[in-house]
């Protein structure tokens, strides 16, 4: 906008001046006018072809036209703003044409040195193409505005910082305010004060050119709080600055749904109490190794099965709900009550010592002992409670829960309705047992459980007719572990299935090997012990598979099942035995006489052999032949054979033969041997 | 080509009575200001260019510490809601916008930031006009930020007349309590009214027609161009001028705005004006 003073140019030849003037005069693209002061009034004194075309005046009409008529918006003395004496001026003005229409034009006015004459050059401000472009841009903006306005997605539009220039109806509805209340920075009041900083942070990122997203709460005018995700994108206008477009997704309902799902995942649907998952998280979140004050109480209802069996499952559920309610009402605020499973509950409390925990357990016991009316019957619940308070020895949160579980079992073992605090010895024993279980699992997996085989002899001719497989575990540190210990451990810890399969498979493998080595001299049959827990619908399949795997006929195998195992569920045991019998496997009842067999059941069981327990054989030495004699007689009357176990002396062997025992087995006759030694023994015996 | 057909529009054929004050000195002062404050002048010049980016504008702005400080202060003011997050000048320029930077440079260029040289309550009035215009802008299809700048700069002509004719302008103001009356008196004394003078100055500095046109049309109730500014001036007058006789905004805006819509605007402007004034000045 520098000032320009027009000066004469003496060096330009007259013909050049003429040429330029001619070009300017006839140009229809240039619009040129000359104004002069005539009698103190500025008037147009000349115009070129372009001027007459644009303004619609004839040249004569144009001459003497007052300048104020040409630029009517310069009222009063304002025409002096255009006709400056010493400076050229550029103004955008409406210019009036002969028809009275106004044409927006940039007017550039240059004074002559005299200060009384001016050259005016007019350039229409809008060209057709510019107008078309603007119309297109306006249409785009209008479409965008309409789209945004009617969009169901709450949308904000800022042209400067946090100041909104536009907000759509969906956002107004979301917060319950009118657009006028939200424009500028008004909308910021709808963002929860604790979340506003996060929103601003994201806007800062977006105004700097990035993308932003944050979760924030919105406060409606009706006091309801909504949670929303704000997504921001930069809105940059060249030459203006940066704002943002923000879209808001109301996720309140989704969050509520997710919260419900999470609650369902972590809570017991019947009682509404936290489940085991949440219990574990709760204890883990509060457990600090080496500290104290965290206590867990494990409760097991003593009479729940009775209620369920006698009053039905609905009454059982009702009892559980009532117990949950009483537990919640009895514990301190902040304590956690969880349903561990079935009729088991766990209470977790903080900042307590052992006395406090026991006191709480007593309070709980008293609360549960109040009668509950179930199906018209008053039921008094009692619980066995195991208590553990965190000590320096607890290395992890789950140990605390495990210890109170053990304590509960101890309480239960001591009689119902008791409270037991897990002491150091019990904890040490429990841990030792856990280690042993882990080692047993490894031993089974690595086939470190070995088998010994003890021959069984025919009483009539003394010939070895079979062997019994006996599992042995030689622990690398503890030495030999008694089968009585590790079989019971396997049954408790769910390893009995794997152990049983190992014994079955290894026995069959050994039989096949003996066949290869000894031919006809190989042991004709092997007896395999099966636990009560194996006595299910899978056993038949396992036996078939093992026999097939090693190419043996079923007659080579005898399954021994203890009397007590059979009597746990005689009906289903009979099913399984029938299947095995159908297969062609022979069946024996082990340790017969030590349990409480129903002779009626016994009669219906498809067994071939009764094994007389070693305790009755031992009694023979003291002259007590009654039981052994009775068992053998019973077997005979049921057309079963007998195997007498634990034969230690020649005398016992003779006595048992005399009593009519069919077969004998004992240390004195042949010790349990490895497979290899058994092969050698059989080979020698055959010679 | 924009053509507005006004059938029967009167065509003035004679000039009004000669004004009693030589405007030439005022116009000359507009042109000489740039040489006295070159950085502010440069910002006024480049901030209006489409080629200018925030980095370039911030670089020039950085050489005027006082102006840069004000832009930072404004960017972090409650008006923009950024709560102190604006820590760089480039970001501040982005937040407040180029037009605002240009407006602030214009304020510095014309010594509007020196309140001792201004009519009493000048900035109180200016900020109220600005916030009124900004708040009402969406109703008139205008951008709030541009309206804010227009409102801030609109009274520039008043300051220029005050600078150049302090006593005469004070007498004139005292004698004319109404805005329209004062503008008529300004035309009689100076040949144009203060807002027209602002328009001349802004046009001289290359401000876009969207900011210049409303200033020239402020007295022309028949056009929509000046409607927003008229409404903003009325809002400011109701808030700052004692014994102001309210003019119905329906009249001022050709029915675009009703008086009941002005009430919340008055509340908003009243609440924010002082803060904006403090953010713009020291």
Q: What is the pLDDT of residues B234-243, one digit of tens each?
A: 999 999 988 8
Q: For A73-92, what is each residue's pLDDT tens digit?
A: 887 678 888 888 777 888 88
Which residues of chain B are within 8 Å of residue A76 when distances are taken between CB atoms? Answer: 15-16, 19, 187, 191-192
Structure tokens at A236: 């940059």
Which residues of chain A are within 8 Å of residue B9 when distances are taken between CB atoms? Answer: 72, 96, 100
**Contact flag B187-A76 (C-beta cutoff 8 Å):** yes
Q: For A134-143, what is each residue's pLDDT tens digit?
A: 677 777 767 7
Give the pLDDT score at A595: 66
Best residue in B21, B95, B98, B213 for a mutation probing chain A (most A CBs within 10 Å): B95
**Contact flag B1-A78 (C-beta cutoff 8 Å):** no
- What's A118-179 look like in SS3? EEEEEEECCCHHHHHHHHHHHHHHHHHHHHHHHCCCCEEEEEECCEEEEECHHHHHHHCCCH
**Contact flag A75-B82 (C-beta cutoff 8 Å):** no
- Give the range among A112-116, A125-129, A364-368, A525-529 with minimum mean pLDDT: A125-129
Q: Between β-strands A295-301 and A344-349, what pairing exists: parallel, antiparallel or unpaired?
A: antiparallel
Domain boundaries, chain B: 24-109, 111-282
- Which CATH superfamily does the domain covering A267-422 fall into? Reverse transcriptase/Diguanylate cyclase domain (3.30.70.270)
Of A41, A77, A188, the CB nearest to B81: A188
Of A91, A127, A165, the CB nearest to B144: A165
Contact A48, A54 (CB under 8 A): no
H or E segment at A233?
strand A225-237
If one compares A214 and A394, the residue with the highest pLDDT of the two is A214
The 3-state DSSP class for residue A241 equals strand
**Contact flag B1-A131 (C-beta cutoff 8 Å):** yes
Give the pLDDT score at A280: 94
Give the pLDDT score at B17: 46
ipTM of the complex: 0.78
Of A92, A100, A197, the CB nearest to B9: A100
Contacts of B248 (CB under 8 A, 6+ apart): B259
Structure tokens at B129: 């006009």
Give the pLDDT score at B8: 39
- Distances from the Cα of A149 to the Cαs of A172, A261, A559, in angstroms? 11, 35, 83
The 3-state DSSP class for residue A265 equals helix
Give the pLDDT score at A596: 62
Q: Between β-strands A155-160 and A163-167, what pairing exists: parallel, antiparallel or unpaired?
A: antiparallel
Query: What mean pLDDT is predicted for residues B171-195?
Result: 89
Quick check: B13 pLDDT over 70?
no
Quick check: B3 pLDDT over 60?
no
Domain boundaries, chain A: 14-125, 151-254, 267-422, 443-686
Give the pLDDT score at A350: 94
Cα separation of A367 and A328, whole Å? Answer: 11
Q: Is B79 on the interface with A (CB under 8 A)?
A: yes
- Which CATH superfamily does the domain covering A14-125 fall into? PAS domain (3.30.450.20)
- Give the range among A103-117, A503-517, A534-548, B122-136 with minimum mean pLDDT: A103-117
**Contact flag B80-A161 (C-beta cutoff 8 Å):** yes
Cα separation of A416 and A172, whole Å? Answer: 65
- Give the strand order in the sheet containing A212-219: A163-167, A155-160, A241-250, A225-237, A212-219
Cα separation of B81 and A503, whole Å? Answer: 79
Q: Between β-strands A586-592 and B3-5, what pairing exists: parallel, antiparallel or unpaired?
A: unpaired
Q: CATH number for the A151-254 domain, one of 3.30.70.20, 3.30.450.20, 3.40.50.970, 3.40.50.720?
A: 3.30.450.20
Q: For A613-647, what is each residue's pLDDT tens digit?
A: 888 898 888 888 888 898 899 888 888 999 999 99
Query: What mean pLDDT is predicted for residues B57-73?
Result: 91
Q: Do domains A267-422 and A443-686 have the same CATH topology?
A: no
Query: What mean pLDDT is predicted for residues A159-176?
Result: 88
Of B79, B98, B138, the CB nearest to A240: B98
Phi, psi (degrees; rounded to nearest 5) at A94: -80, 130
Task: Give start and end residues of each alpha helix (H) in A31-127.
Answer: 49-55, 59-62, 67-70, 79-82
B111-282 architecture in CATH? Orthogonal Bundle (1.10)
DSSP letters, A363-386, are HHHHHHHS-EEETTEEE---EEEE
Longest dimension (CA), chain B: 59
Q: Is B106 on the interface with A (CB under 8 A)?
A: no
Q: Is A114 exposed, middle or buried (0-12, 13-18, 19+ CB in 10 A)?
A: exposed
Q: If you classify domain A443-686 with CATH, what class do you get?
A: alpha beta
- In B144-203, the residues whose Cβ lies within 8 Å of chain A are 144-145, 187, 190-192, 196, 200, 203
User: Which of A374-378, A508-512, B105-109 tops mean pLDDT?
Assistant: A508-512
**Contact flag B145-A180 (C-beta cutoff 8 Å):** no
Task: Give buried/exposed letters for A221-258 (b at 16+ CB in 10 A, else e).
Answer: eeeeebbbebbbebbeeebbbbbbbbbbebeeeeeeee
Phi, psi (degrees; rounded to nearest 5) at A40: 85, -5
**Contact flag B94-A77 (C-beta cutoff 8 Å):** no
**Contact flag A165-B52 (C-beta cutoff 8 Å):** no
| Model confidence band, residue A45 (pLDDT cutoffs 50, 70, 90) | very high
**Contact flag B16-A76 (C-beta cutoff 8 Å):** yes
Best residue in A133, A177, A184 for a mutation probing chain B (most B CBs within 10 Å): A184
**Contact flag A242-B48 (C-beta cutoff 8 Å):** no
Cα separation of A538 and A644, whole Å? Answer: 30
Q: How many residues does chain A have?
A: 687
Contact A648, A666 (CB under 8 A): yes
Contact A35, A120 (CB under 8 A): yes
Cα separation of A305 and A319, whole Å? Answer: 11
Q: Considering the entire predicted model, what is its pTM?
A: 0.57
**Contact flag A96-B187 (C-beta cutoff 8 Å):** no
Instruction: Using only the alpha carbons of chain A, give its radius of gyration.
Output: 52
Structure tokens at A92: 């955008």
């Amino acid at each position: 906008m520098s000032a320009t003073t027009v000066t004469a140019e003496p060096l330009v030849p007259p013909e050049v001046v003429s040429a330029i003037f001619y070009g300017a005069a006839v140009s229809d693209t240039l619009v040129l006018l000359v104004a002069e002061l005539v009698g103190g009034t500025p008037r147009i004194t000349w115009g070129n072809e372009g001027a007459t075309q644009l303004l619609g005046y004839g040249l004569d009409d144009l001459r003497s036209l007052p300048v104020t008529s040409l630029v009517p918006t310069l009222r009063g003395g304002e025409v002096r703003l255009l006709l400056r004496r010493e400076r050229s001026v550029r103004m955008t003005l409406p210019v009036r044409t002969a028809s009275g229409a106004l044409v927006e034009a940039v007017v550039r006015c240059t004074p002559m040195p005299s200060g009384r004459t001016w050259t005016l050059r007019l350039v229409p401000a809008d060209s057709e193409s510019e107008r078309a472009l603007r119309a297109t841009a306006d249409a785009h903006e209008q479409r965008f505005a309409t789209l945004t306005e009617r969009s169901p997605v709450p949308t904000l539009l800022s042209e400067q910082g946090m100041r909104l220039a536009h907000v759509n109806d969906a956002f107004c509805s979301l917060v319950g305010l009118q657009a006028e209340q939200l424009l500028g920075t008004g909308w910021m009041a709808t963002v929860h004060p604790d979340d506003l900083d996060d929103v601003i942070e994201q806007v800062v990122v977006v105004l700097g050119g990035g993308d932003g997203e944050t979760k924030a709460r919105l406060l409606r005018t009706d006091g309801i709080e909504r949670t929303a995700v704000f997504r921001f994108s930069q809105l940059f206008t060249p030459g203006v600055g940066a704002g943002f477009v923000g879209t808001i997704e109301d996720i309140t309902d989704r969050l509520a749904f997710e919260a419900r799902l999470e609650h369902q995942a972590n809570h017991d649907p019947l009682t509404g109490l936290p489940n085991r998952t949440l219990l574990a998280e709760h204890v883990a979140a509060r457990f600090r190794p080496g500290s104290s004050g965290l206590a867990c109480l494990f409760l097991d209802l003593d009479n729940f099965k009775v209620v369920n069996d006698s009053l039905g499952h609905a009454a059982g559920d009702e009892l559980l709900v009532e117990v949950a309610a009483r537990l919640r009402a009895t514990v301190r605020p902040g304590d956690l009550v969880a349903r561990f499973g079935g009729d088991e509950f766990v209470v977790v409390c903080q900042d307590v010592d052992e006395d406090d925990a026991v006191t709480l357990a007593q309070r709980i016991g008293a609360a549960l002992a109040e009668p509950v009316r179930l199906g018209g019957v008053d039921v008094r619940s009692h619980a066995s409670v195991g208590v553990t308070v965190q000590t320096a020895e607890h290395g992890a949160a789950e140990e605390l829960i495990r210890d109170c579980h053990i304590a509960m079992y101890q309480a239960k073992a001591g009689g119902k309705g008791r409270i037991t605090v897990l002491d150091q010895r019990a904890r040490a024993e429990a841990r030792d047992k856990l280690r042993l279980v882990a080692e047993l699992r490894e031993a089974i997996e690595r086939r470190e459980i070995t088998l010994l085989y003890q021959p069984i002899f025919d009483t009539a001719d003394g010939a070895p007719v079979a062997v019994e497989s006996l599992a042995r575990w030689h622990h690398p540190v503890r030495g030999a572990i008694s089968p009585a210990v590790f079989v019971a451990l396997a049954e408790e810890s769910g390893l009995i299935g794997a152990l049983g399969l190992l014994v079955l498979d290894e026995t069959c493998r050994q039989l096949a090997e003996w066949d290869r080595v000894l031919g006809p001299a190989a042991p004709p049959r092997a007896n395999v012990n099966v636990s009560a827990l194996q006595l299910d619908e899978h056993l038949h399949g396992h036996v078939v598979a093992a026999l097939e795997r090693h190419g043996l006929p079923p007659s080579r195998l005898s399954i021994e099942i203890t009397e007590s195992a059979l009597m746990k569920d005689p009906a289903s045991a009979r099913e399984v035995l029938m299947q095995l019998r159908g297969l062609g496997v022979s069946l024996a009842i082990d340790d017969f006489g030590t349990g409480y067999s129903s002779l009626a059941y016994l009669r219906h069981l498809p067994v071939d052999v009764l094994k007389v327990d070693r305790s009755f054989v031992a009694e023979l030495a003291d002259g007590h032949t009654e039981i052994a004699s009775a068992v053998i007689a019973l077997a005979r009357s049921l057309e079963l054979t007998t195997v007498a176990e634990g034969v230690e002396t020649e005398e016992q062997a003779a006595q048992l033969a005399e009593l009519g025992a069919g077969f004998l087995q004992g240390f004195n006759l042949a010790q349990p041997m490895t497979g290899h030694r058994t092969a050698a023994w059989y080979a020698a015996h055959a010679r | 080509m924009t053509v507005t057909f006004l059938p029967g529009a009167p065509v003035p054929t004679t000039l009004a009575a000669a004004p009693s004050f030589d405007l030439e000195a005022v116009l000359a002062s507009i042109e000489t200001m740039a040489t006295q404050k070159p950085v502010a002048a440069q910002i006024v010049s480049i901030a209006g260019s489409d080629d200018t980016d925030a980095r370039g504008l911030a670089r020039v702005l950085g050489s005027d510490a006082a102006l840069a400080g004000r832009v930072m202060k404004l960017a972090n003011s409650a008006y923009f809601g950024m709560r102190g997050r604006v820590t760089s000048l480039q970001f501040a320029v982005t937040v407040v916008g180029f037009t605002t930077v240009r407006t602030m440079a214009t304020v510095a260029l014309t010594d509007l930031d020196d309140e001792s040289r201004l009519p009493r309550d000048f900035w109180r009035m200016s900020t109220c006009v600005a916030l009124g215009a900004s708040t009402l802008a969406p109703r008139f299809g205008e951008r709030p930020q541009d309206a804010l700048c227009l409102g801030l700069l609109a009274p520039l002509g008043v300051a220029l007349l005050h600078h150049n004719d302090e006593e005469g302008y004070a007498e004139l103001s005292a004698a004319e309590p109404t805005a329209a009356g004062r503008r008529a008196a300004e035309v009689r004394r100076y040949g144009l009214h203060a807002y027209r003078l602002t328009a001349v100055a802004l046009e001289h500095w290359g401000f876009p027609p969207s900011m210049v046109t409303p200033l020239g049309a402020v007295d022309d109730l028949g056009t929509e161009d000046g409607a927003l500014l008229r409404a903003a001036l009325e809002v400011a007058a109701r808030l700052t001028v004692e014994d102001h006789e309210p003019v119905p905004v329906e009249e001022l805006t050709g029915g675009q705005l009703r008086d009941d819509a002005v009430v919340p605007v008055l509340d908003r402007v009243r609440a924010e004006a002082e803060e904006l004034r403090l953010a713009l000045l020291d």
